Structure 1
Amino acid sequence: MLDSLLKAGSDMAVAEAPPFVAGEWGGGGPELTRTGPYLRRVVSRTTTATGEEVARALACARAGARTVAGLAPAFRADILDRASLAATAHREGLARLLALELGKPVRDGLGEVDRVADTFAVCAAEARRIGGETLPVAGWARGVGDTAFTYRAPAGVALAITPFNAPANLLAHKLGASFAAGNTTLVKGPPQAPAATAAVVALLLESGMPPQAVQLLHGGGEVGALLCAADEVAVISFTGSADTGREVARAAGAKRLVLELGGNAATIVCEDADLEQAARQCARTGYSNSGQSCVSVQRVYVHSSRYEPFLDHFAAAVGELRVGDPLHPDTDVGAMVDDDAAERVVRWSAEAAAAGARVVCGGTREGATAAPTIVAGPPPDSPVVSREVFGALVAVLPYDDFEAVLATCNESHYGLQAGLFTHDMRRVLTAWRELETGALIVGGTSNYRLDHVPFGGVKSSGFGRETPRSMIEDYTVVKTLLLRDLSIWGDATDTGAGA
């Protein structure tokens, strides 16, 4: 399957990306096609899961859970290590699929596949670390004479629902960590990237993952809702919009959830910052993947004394970005996921301009390709400030007081990551303490992530942390063994010595 998907991408043919259920590729549901946002033609095809296929996938996952749980951690880790090497070996072909299905520049796609390889390697390392602890029960009188241990057992059946913007790496996180923990996993991929999703699943299977360990289904929200509500599912990891996340939580009921739900991230540029460096980083990370990242630079607050010089540097850096064919190796900004997403950038920048802001550059689109847009000085209640653009648009606003700008950043409903450019450690510690975000990036923008470091937010950005170690904790349950009247600690309560 992997070879056929990669060959289709190489030949510019339609990639056939069927579901994988009960150990077999293929499905009988309604056809689901993906039109590439840059090529404007069908680039991949799959089938939408039927109710019968969902039921069969759930039954197979439940039946296979015990088999997968019985695999030694070393065996699971070896498979993940092989998958890491395979991702590197196929990086160009996988990046090409991402470019065709999503309009993501090959340059960004190669970076995503490199992260897939890293993520699988980290998952392998974490699989080898799973263990438990000896509890200090004899430290309290009622525990004297007893011994207690714990270990982390697989939760059973996990559900991974992945988004379109980083379908390969986010699937690697969810499926890789779930398998490392000893679970079987149901994967509901994004309708916009069936081939890229199927390719990652196929890569794992060809690296030795047992077929009982994964079921892949395609479709929209109706398929996701059926899976979320299923009694067979023990834990759900979802990445997507806040609105859809709330629907997932409602459908899931009393299940364990890890939700990463987006943001409208802020970056602060203080008066002591290197303006050129800050401007270059904001340009590079504000428009990578056309701004379609939950931590993409959306709001940049610059000290008033440096505001205009920063805008000049920023506009110059954005002007150097190459916009166009995502398959060209030098392209920086490709297409957005569809025309509606690109139109959102155009519409919101026009609304900000009508409210008094200045559109420094961009504000236009060609099909699904939105020109990199800078909006200077928009009102705080305009959508480009108060809502998640998830597109090729960055708003730049002046500020006068550091404490006040921290409060302004916190007015957002979201709280995923923030960036800060300063050399003042007192400001760094103040911002780390006061900002209502899951992480603060100092010397960089909000759009920076290491896949082995905890990642997640607060408020409407969700809860839980998506990194292999953290996810393994979510994907496992603590089981305790208590031995009555059998102690490794000693059970004497009196030395017998006289006064």
Structure 2
Amino acid sequence: MLEDLLKAADASDVVDAPPFISGTWGGEGPPLERTGPYLRRTVSRATTSTTAEIDTALQQAGRYAEQVASLAPAARAQILETASRTASAHRDRLARLLALELGKPLKDSRTEIDRVASTFAVCAAEARRIDGENLPVAGWNTGIGNTALTYRAPAGVALAITPFNAPANLLAHKLGASFAAGNTTLVKSPPQAPAASAAVVAVLLESGMPHQAVQLLHGGGEVGAALCAGDEVSVISFTGSAATGAAVARAAGAKRLALELGGNAATIVCEDADAESAAALCARNGYSNSGQSCISVQRVYVHRSRFDTFLDAFTAAVDALVVGDPLDEDTDVGSMVDEDAAERVVRWSKEAAGLGARVIRGGTRDGATAAPTIIADPPAHASVVVHEVFGALVAVIPFDDFDTVLDACNASRYGLQAGLFTYDITRILTAWRRLQVGGLIVNGSSNYRLDHVPFGGVKDSGFGREAPRWLIDDYTVVKTLMLRGLSVWGEHRELPKENT
């Protein structure tokens, strides 16, 4: 299947991406066609999973769970290591598939596939580290004479629901960590990237993953809701919008959840920072993947003494970005996921201008391609400040007082990551303590992530942490063994008295 997917992408043909259920590629549901946002034609075709297919996948997952759990961690690790090498071997072809399906420039698409390979390698390493504890039960009088052991057991059936903006790497995180933990996994692909999702599943199957470990289903929210409600599902990992995350939680009921939701990321540039370097970095990270990242640079607060210098340098860096065909090697900014998303950038730019902000660049679109947009000094109640734009728009805002700007950052309903440019250690520690975010990037923008470092947010940005080691905690349960009357610890409550 992997070669079929990549061969079609190589030829720019429509890529057929069937579901994978009960060890077989293929489905009976209606077609789900994906229009490439830059090409404006059908680039991939999936098969929407039917109610019967969903029921079959859930039932089979319940049967498969014990089989997959019996696979030794070393065997899981070896498969994941092979998958890492397979992804690297097909790097350019997989990147082309992403570019066709999502309008993501080849530069960004190759980076994503590199991260897929890295993520699988990290998952392999974490599979080898799964362990347990010998608990210190004899440290309390009630535990004397006993031994208690724990180990982390597979949760059973995991459900992975992935978004469109990084469909390959985020699926690698969810599916890779779930398999490392010893689970069978149901995957619900994003409607915008069924072929990319099928390719990641095919990479793992080609690398030796047993078919019992994964099933892939396509469709919209109704498919996701049906899977979430399945009694067979033990844990759900979802990445997407806050609104959809709330719907997932409602459909799931009393299941374990790991939700990585939206963001409205802020970056602070203090007066002691190198404003020009900060501007260049924010320009690169603010428009990569057309700003379609939950940690993309959206709000940049710049100390007033450095505001003009930053804005001039930022504008020059944005002007140097190449906008155009995602399949062109020189392109920095391709298209957004669809025309509605690009229109949001246009609409919010007009709103900000009406509220007194300056639209320095952009505020226009050509189909689904939004021109990189710079909004200077919007008011605090403008949509570009309050809401998640998830697009090619950055707002640059002056500030005067550090404590006040921390409050402005925290005014958002989201709290995923923030950036801070300063060399003042007191400010760094103060921001780390006070900012209501899951992660703080110092001397970097909000849009920075290492796949082996915990990633997640607070407030409406969700809960749980996404990175293989931390996901494995969500994908496993602690099982305890109590050995009564058997102790590896000292058994006496007091030493016998000796005759002297």
Give the TM-score range, shorter chain. over 0.9
CA distance in 2, matches of 1:262, 1:441: 18
Deviation at 1:497, TM superposition (A): 2.8
3-state SS, counterpart of residue 346 of structure 2? helix
1:364-411 residue CA offsets vs partner (Å, 9 max, x unmatched): 000000000000010111100000000000000000000110011000
Who is 1:390 aligned against?
390
Who is 1:209 aligned against?
209
Deviation at 1:60, TM superposition (A): 1.0
1:392-448 residue CA offsets vs partner (Å, 9 max, x unmatched): 000000000001100110000000000000011110000000000000000100000
- Give the paired residue count: 499
* Identical-pair percentage: 73
AA aligned opposite 2:237: S
CA distance in 2, matches of 1:180, 1:378: 46
Who is 2:371 aligned against?
371
Who is 1:82 aligned against?
82
CA distance in 2, matches of 1:182, 1:107: 34
CA distance in 2, matches of 1:195, 1:31: 13
3-state SS, counterpart of residue 129 of structure 1? coil
- After TM superposition, list the pairs within 5 Å mapping 1:454-469 onto structure 2: 454-469=454-469
Q: Tell me whether 1:260 sits opposite 2:260 in the alignment.
A: yes
Which TM-score applies when normalising by structure 1?
A: 1.00
CA distance in 2, matches of 1:301, 1:41: 40
Q: Tell me whether 1:97 sits opposite 2:97 in the alignment.
A: yes
Deviation at 1:309, TM superposition (A): 1.1
3-state SS, counterpart of residue 93 of structure 2? helix
Who is 1:183 aligned against?
183
Who is 1:41 aligned against?
41
Who is 2:136 aligned against?
136
Deviation at 1:95, TM superposition (A): 0.6
1:262-299 residue CA offsets vs partner (Å, 9 max, x unmatched): 10000000001111110011000000000000000000
Deviation at 1:495, TM superposition (A): 1.1
Who is 1:115 aligned against?
115
Q: Tell me whether 1:483 sits opposite 2:483 in the alignment.
A: yes
CA distance in 2, matches of 1:119, 1:262: 22
CA distance in 1, matches of 2:90, 2:288: 22
Deviation at 1:100, TM superposition (A): 0.4
- After TM superposition, list the pairs within 5 Å mapping 1:11-26 onto structure 2: 11-26=11-26
AA aligned opposite 2:432: W
Who is 1:348 aligned against?
348
- After TM superposition, list the pairs within 5 Å mapping 1:224-235 onto structure 2: 224-235=224-235
CA distance in 1, matches of 2:497, 2:117: 63
CA distance in 1, matches of 2:285, 2:466: 21
- After TM superposition, list the pairs within 5 Å mapping 1:263-278 onto structure 2: 263-278=263-278
- After TM superposition, list the pairs within 5 Å mapping 1:309-324 onto structure 2: 309-324=309-324
Who is 1:245 aligned against?
245
Who is 2:10 aligned against?
10
CA distance in 2, matches of 1:331, 1:9: 19
1:174-222 residue CA offsets vs partner (Å, 9 max, x unmatched): 0000000000000000000011000000000000000000000000000
AA aligned opposite 2:182: G
CA distance in 1, matches of 2:122, 2:279: 32
Deviation at 1:250, TM superposition (A): 0.4
Q: Is the 8 A contact 2:276 2:309 kept in 1?
A: no
1:25-65 residue CA offsets vs partner (Å, 9 max, x unmatched): 00000110000000000000011010000000011111111
3-state SS, counterpart of residue 258 of structure 2? strand
CA distance in 1, matches of 2:232, 2:486: 37
AA aligned opposite 1:187: V
Who is 2:127 aligned against?
127
CA distance in 2, matches of 1:54, 1:29: 11
Deviation at 1:490, TM superposition (A): 2.0
CA distance in 1, matches of 2:460, 2:145: 48
Deviation at 1:451, TM superposition (A): 0.2
AA aligned opposite 1:399: F
Who is 1:173 aligned against?
173
Who is 1:32 aligned against?
32
CA distance in 2, matches of 1:97, 1:61: 29
CA distance in 1, matches of 2:93, 2:218: 21
Q: Tell me whether 1:495 sits opposite 2:495 in the alignment.
A: yes
AA aligned opposite 1:63: R
3-state SS, counterpart of residue 317 of structure 1? helix
Deviation at 1:330, TM superposition (A): 1.1
Who is 2:441 aligned against?
441
3-state SS, counterpart of residue 78 of structure 2? helix
CA distance in 2, matches of 1:205, 1:255: 28
- After TM superposition, list the pairs within 5 Å mapping 1:421-440 onto structure 2: 421-440=421-440
3-state SS, counterpart of residue 296 of structure 1? coil
AA aligned opposite 1:112: E
CA distance in 1, matches of 2:64, 2:102: 33
1:340-368 residue CA offsets vs partner (Å, 9 max, x unmatched): 00000000001000110000000000000
AA aligned opposite 2:47: T
CA distance in 2, matches of 1:428, 1:188: 40
CA distance in 1, matches of 2:87, 2:272: 42
1:205-250 residue CA offsets vs partner (Å, 9 max, x unmatched): 0000000000000000000000001100000000000000000000
3-state SS, counterpart of residue 334 of structure 2? coil
1:92-139 residue CA offsets vs partner (Å, 9 max, x unmatched): 011101100100001000000000000000000000000100000000
CA distance in 2, matches of 1:143, 1:37: 64
CA distance in 2, matches of 1:497, 1:123: 55
CA distance in 2, matches of 1:64, 1:243: 32
Q: Tell me whether 1:330 sits opposite 2:347 in the alignment.
A: no
CA distance in 2, matches of 1:306, 1:492: 70
Q: Tell me whether 1:473 sits opposite 2:473 in the alignment.
A: yes
3-state SS, counterpart of residue 52 of structure 2? helix
CA distance in 1, matches of 2:214, 2:265: 34
Who is 2:147 aligned against?
147
Deviation at 1:494, TM superposition (A): 1.3
CA distance in 2, matches of 1:443, 1:399: 18
AA aligned opposite 1:161: I
Deviant stretches of 4+, over 6 Å: none
Which TM-score applies when normalising by structure 2?
A: 0.99
AA aligned opposite 1:8: A
Structural RMSD (CA): 0.7
**Which consecutive unaligned segments of at least 5 residues does structure 2 have?**
none
